[in-house]
Amino acid sequence: MNIKALLELHYGYLFEPALLKEIEEVGKYKLIKQGEKLMELGQEIKGMPLLFSGAIKVLREDSEGEELLLYFIERGDTCAMSFSCCMGAGTSDIRAIAESDSELLMLPVQKMDEWMTKYKSWRAFILDSYHTRLSELMETVDTLAFMKMDERLMKYLKDRAMVTNNDLITTTHLEVAHDLHTSRVVVSRLLKSLENEGKIVLGRNNIKVLAL
């Protein structure tokens, strides 16, 4: 695996050569299969992901074990919440699961603070990531507060299709219900309604999004 080539392809326009060289030296390459957990709640954080390909969904869990989807991390992104945990208690406040097969580098936590002061490009990258994630979190709040469940469901399906660049989503009604913090019965009813409206096509453990 040519890590140098991947870094230059996806991050060469962002980071100066010296930083790219350090990332290449300390980063650990990982291939995460679809559905595999990258990070778990309460897990000690030893590294922060830098994505080359694929998509990761980031979720929170309430005291009763119910999940809520916060946002997706796409190619060229990192997870600002992971960085925040690195700088704080050192344990994860989120669950991260591969939405599709994903290539990434895990960067050691020991380098995070050092690079913030050493490289302007790294500092700008992290601050931009914070801004992007905050905007997505605000969008999640607005979705919960102002959208009806059928609108939330359609937005969720479109978002998943866009981050994977694939209008055929491999999933179950139960998984969708968990991500949207609702019941499987409600999701199944609304999916059938969306299919009747010609916006999606339901298959066995998959959903084809027609209205992108």
Each domain of the chain, given as residue ranges in start order, spans: 3-144, 148-209
H or E segment to which residue 2 belongs:
none
CA distance 121 to 127: 10
Domain 3-144 homologous superfamily, CATH: Jelly Rolls (2.60.120.10)
- pLDDT band, very low/low/confident/very high, at 14 (cuts 50, 70, 90): very high
Fold of 148-209: Arc Repressor Mutant, subunit A (1.10.10)
Q: Which of 43-47, 180-184, 185-189, 198-202 has the lowest mean pLDDT?
A: 43-47
Q: Is the pLDDT of residue 153 over 90?
A: yes
Instruction: State the pLDDT at residue 102.
Output: 94
Query: Are 51 and 104 in contact, with CB atoms under 8 Å apart?
Result: yes
DSSP β-bridge partners for residue 60: 68
Question: Which one, of 146, 181, 167, 156, lies nearest residue 210 by Cα?
Answer: 167
Report CA Rg, the chain: 18
Query: Which residue has tokens 């936590």?
Result: 109
